[in-house]
Structures are given as structure tokens and as C-alpha cells.
Structure 1
């Protein structure tokens, strides 16, 4: 009888401990730069956090703060997450030039294909080569956007039309490309684009279609220039990451939920969402009867011939900093081809 009583008491105690563990609540704060209606916060981050909260049975609560509402500037997001000011961030990697040099390979001109394919390639590449650069973070996904375009007040029909244009660029590498193409690059985080165009600080901007609706770009300019062929002019790269200490504090079963919602499939989903967003941004410009230009193969080749020497220059620069840059470029190209159907 005493033995049965002891077993019952032990079972009750274990049950109580289990109930306590499942009642545990964790609140995480997610901070990002774009307005809530933009593609990534609305179609990628919100569904991601809702799934994590559901998978955890309500034990994880994720509060999303859009448009830098917790303070700071977009380039400060990586410090906010590594310093533990917030638990999760989504940001443009190129906003902190020189900090993540290995990632710049994917920003090189006429490298990328679609957002989804390039995101898969980029995540696979970064898992192998970039982890040390992202110390202090538990990376959920590295990803990229769809083909970058030039959105301008005056038409850009030829390479010569780039001369002297003040064009917003989102990273060090993209600014170098714009300069090689004859423009005057203006470094600027994407939330500042609308004001920059309306006040004449810039004549044009480089962004994909998906972000144009939230910035009203198709209302501020009437010309949009894209390119022929499978490879877009450029892409920017992004990281969605968690503070490492915030992750480490989670019990193992909650870590497993974060892990299950991280990785190459999450990266692919973010890239796919951006590809879908491109369709919506294009339709808005079409409905406004804007001038949508696709350069033919011959003109696109002129741009490639002018821009792609930057690849050799980047290899030389990064080799001087100790990276096996030629091998990184070759691997990036191979991975993009691997993940792009038909290439």
C-alpha cells in the first residue's frame, strides 16, 4: 500500500511539473523597418509568428513592431538583436556595409534569378560560409528579393540615360554598380525612398516591384526599367534572426519549434512571397498607365558588359581581405543555377 501511495504521489508531482512547464509563457519582440502593409511584414513575418505561436500551443507570444516603432534606424537593427534590445529582427544585410562581406556575393550584378530560387541558394550558401559573421544571432532565414529594377522620373531606355541620375542604392555593392553604369548613387534605407523622390533628393530608385506599393513609388515616378533574360540586374539580401541568448533561454521543446520554422524552406517562403508581391506592384503601375520598359537582349547585354567587371573587382578586393572570393563567386553561381528551374 505504501508503495502504491508513493507511486501515486510521484505521478501527481510529475504531472504538476509537466503542467507548469506547458504553462510557461515566453514573449518575444520582433522589430523591423517597413510599414505593416508591406509585403514582408504582412505576408511573411506575420504568418511566420502566427504559426510559431500556434505550434507552441500559446506558450510563445511574439509581438511585432513595424516601421522602427521601437526606435533607432534600420542600420541599427542588427545591433538591436545582437545586443538583446529586441529578440527578433528582419533587415537588409547591406545596411551595415563591410560587416557581412561574405554575403555580398549575391548582390553582384546580373547574378540573381527569382526571389525564391535566389533565396534558397543564398540560405544554403550562408549556412556554409556566413555563420561566423552572424555570431550573436540564431539565424532563422537568409533570403533575397526578386529582380531589382530602376524606377525613375525620366525614362531609362538606354545605358546613356543613366548618366548623372541621382539613384538610391541600398548597399555598398549596389552603389558601386550604379556608379559603373554612369549614375550618381545615393545611399538610403528603403523607408526614406518616398520622401527622397518627392523632395528631389533622388531622381530614381532601385527596388523590386513588391515594395513599390507601400512606398507609393508608382505614384511618384512614371517610368520603370527592367531587363531581358533569366538574371535580374541585382538583388538585395536580408536576414531574419533571433538573439542567440533569447533562443538559448528557451526550453528544448520550444527551441525545436523555432528550429522547425527556420532554414531553407523558410528562406524559400520569404523569397516566394516577394515574387508574388512583385506581381501586385507591377499591376498597380500598369493600372496607372505608367511607362513600363523592358530592355531588349542587345541593350541588356550592354548593361551586363558595363556592370559585370565589378565581379572581378569584388573578387580582388575580398581576396585582399583573406576570403577565397573567386571560389565563393563560383559557388554562388552554381547554387543559383541549381535552385533555378530551367538553368
Structure 2
């Protein structure tokens, strides 16, 4: 009788748990679980959403393409409903999301947090019913300033001639061509092998990723630009299958909505960029040569980048998009949010937003 009662109680408890957890969603992305974004952006977001849903929602996180396919297929996986949520890079499918490319233009970004806020605002105004019409967007952000990591010192634009660089996006590819360098596209995880075999002479990536890829061990020269002058950045999205979102109960939708959008996007950019400094310090400790282009010299690089703006605007015009207007809007929004940061009125701190940030000297594998 006692055992029968215990079995009955167990079944009742299991039934109650099943009833409490009404929805399970699958989140798919391309990086390993210990990488910065999965560990410090995505997992905390999942925890907050699940908590807000009061136990009715479970989000299963599948890192490193565990559900199959290749990174460029992530966006179609979420649109088609093969997965419910995906974190991906717009540049994995070049040209498919034209409007967000405005934030990837050279020297467009000031810092990741301000640019991520600008990205979300412009998404709501210009991209929600165009580029991302088939998705329910949860977050949109950028990484920290891109840096040149190369096997020879790059102190002037002339030093770029004929240097083979791994390029992450169409925009930086356009810029490298203007600087007489040779852009070579490849997955970020292929950089170490490509460097070791001489396929490339260097890579353009943010500091954040260099530790995980052991780039400072392979090249000893790093060229960055004066603060507020980002050579480039890359745009990311966390999105959900639209039909799946619309099918959810209102309380679960609210749990997702309350933890997504502008503030989440700003924190995503801020946290990802926060890993730049400890990674840079590692290169300093190794005695590598870090070159910072002065504000005066940066003006020359900015001037050299102008044809990239013209080329992109013309490309947008051919698609029926007013590229020049988008550039002006993006610049104005970035300036607005950068100024708000300077006035101390941009947004809550990382801790206030309930998201983790690196401890002093801490690093983690990166994208």
C-alpha cells in the first residue's frame, strides 16, 4: 500500500510538473557553450525568460550547430521552423539582409553599446517589415571595434598593399579592396589554420576573439584606431520563428517580450565588447606590437573609406532602398546614443540589467 501510494504520488507530481511546463523551445547557434556570447548573453537571457514565465517555459540551448547544418543555414532553420530560436550573423548570408549592413560600414560605429541601441531603433523603423518580416526579432547587436591582426606592422595605409586578410563581411571586403589589400572570406574558426599555412597574412576581428583563436601567438602585430573610430563591426540577431511566437500563450509572450528588445540588444553589444580589454591585455603581456592609429592619421583612413559608402549606397539604390538616407539615419542614431552615454543617461548598468560581465582579467573562448 505504501509503495502504491508513493507511485501514485510520483505520478501526480510528474503530471503537475508536465502541466506547469507548457512550452519547450529550441534555440540553435554556431558557437560552443563556453564562448562569450552563449555563456554571458544567451544563457542569462534564457534564465530570465524562464523565470519570468513562472516555470511554464523551457528553452533548450543547442550550441555549436548540434541540431545539424552549417552556420549560414541558421536563418532558414528559424524561418522554416526547424528550430524555434536562432542566434546568427547577418554576414553568414551576404546581401540577404541589406539594411543592417549600414552598421557594418567602416568607421560607422563609435562603440558596441551605442551602435546596438541604434541598430534596434532602426530595426523597428526600417527593418521590421522588410529585412526581418519573416522573423520575430528578440535582439540585434554588434561586437566591439574590429582590429587588424597581421604578421607585419601596419602603421599606414600603404602598409596594407597586397596583404591577404580574412574578411568577415561584404563591407570590410569593400574597404580592404579600396586599401589595395586582398580580402579572403572564410569562417572565423578557419583563421588559425589559414594563418599557419600562409593562406592569409592576417585577420580583421575584434580583440574579443583573439584569445580563443590564439591569434597573438601566430601574429605579433595588431593595429587599432583611436577611441571612437571603429574600423568595422558585424551585426548579430537573435530571432524566433514568427508563427511559433504568435502561437504562444500571452503570459509566455510577455515573459519573452519583457526580456527582449532595446535593453537586451544594448547589453548584448556591451557584454560582447567587454571581453575586448582582457584579450588585448593578453597580447600586451606577450610583448606583441600594438599600433594605435592617431586621430589625425585616422582621418586619412576615413577618407579612403568613402568610396565604400558610395558603393554600398549604389547597391542599395539598385535594390530600391535609399541607402544614403539609411546612412544618415544610422549616423544620427549612433551619435544620439553615444552622446547619451557621455551624459550618463544611456541605460542601466550590466548588473542592473541582470547580465553577467567578466571579472577583472577574465577571458573566455569567443566567437
TM-score, normalised to structure 2, is 0.84
**Is the partner of 2:240 in helix, strand or coil?**
strand
The number of residue pairs the alignment matches comes to: 325
- State how 1:181-192 maps to structure 2 within 5 Å: 181-192=179-190
Cα distance, 1:332–1:111 mapped onto 2, change above 3 Å: same
Distance 1:214 1:116 in 2: 23
Q: For 1:134, which of 132, 135, 143 is the aligned residue? A: 132
Post-superposition offset of 1:151: 0.9
Distance 2:124 2:209 in 1: 27
Distance 1:163 1:154 in 2: 12
Q: For 2:326, which of 308, 325, 328 is the aligned residue? A: 328
Post-superposition offset of 1:286: 1.6
Q: For 2:145, which of 147, 152, 162 is the aligned residue? A: 147
What is the match of residue 8 of structure 1? Answer: none
What is the match of residue 214 of structure 2? Answer: 216
- Indicate whether 1:61 and 2:50 are aligned: no
Does the Cα contact within 8 Å between 1:94 and 1:172 map onto a contact in 2?
yes
**Is the partner of 2:82 in helix, strand or coil?**
coil
**Is the partner of 2:275 in helix, strand or coil?**
helix
What is the match of residue 305 of structure 2? Answer: 307
Q: For 1:96, which of 48, 71, 93 is the aligned residue? A: 93
Cα distance, 1:146–1:316 mapped onto 2, change above 3 Å: same
Distance 2:25 2:332 in 1: 37
Post-superposition offset of 1:219: 2.1
Cα distance, 1:219–1:59 mapped onto 2, change above 3 Å: farther
Unaligned runs of 5+ in 1: 1-18
Does the Cα contact within 8 Å between 1:91 and 1:238 map onto a contact in 2?
yes
Post-superposition offset of 1:30: 1.3
Does the Cα contact within 8 Å between 1:39 and 1:211 map onto a contact in 2?
no
Q: For 1:35, which of 32, 35, 44 is the aligned residue? A: 32
Post-superposition offset of 1:88: 1.1
Moved >4 Å (runs of 4+): 19-22
Does the Cα contact within 8 Å between 2:50 and 2:255 map onto a contact in 1?
no
Distance 1:288 1:36 in 2: 27
- State how 1:98-247 maps to structure 2 within 5 Å: 98-131=95-128, 132-247=130-245
Deviations 1:51-107 (A, max 9, x none): 112222222111212222222221111111111111111111111111111111111
Post-superposition offset of 1:297: 2.4
Distance 2:284 2:295 in 1: 22
Deviations 1:303-339 (A, max 9, x none): 1111122112221221222111111111100000000
What is the match of residue 85 of structure 1? Answer: 82
What is the match of residue 351 of structure 2? Answer: none
Does the Cα contact within 8 Å between 2:30 and 2:71 map onto a contact in 1?
yes
Does the Cα contact within 8 Å between 1:34 and 1:191 map onto a contact in 2?
no
Does the Cα contact within 8 Å between 2:21 and 2:55 map onto a contact in 1?
no
Cα distance, 1:36–1:220 mapped onto 2, change above 3 Å: farther
Post-superposition offset of 1:20: 9.2
Distance 1:323 1:198 in 2: 42
Distance 1:138 1:280 in 2: 34
Distance 1:180 1:35 in 2: 35
Cα distance, 1:313–1:67 mapped onto 2, change above 3 Å: same
Cα distance, 1:195–1:33 mapped onto 2, change above 3 Å: farther
RMSD of aligned residue pairs (Cα, Å): 1.7
Deviations 1:146-183 (A, max 9, x none): 11111112221111111111111111111111111111
Distance 1:229 1:44 in 2: 25
Distance 2:200 2:309 in 1: 26
What is the match of residue 260 of structure 2? Answer: 262
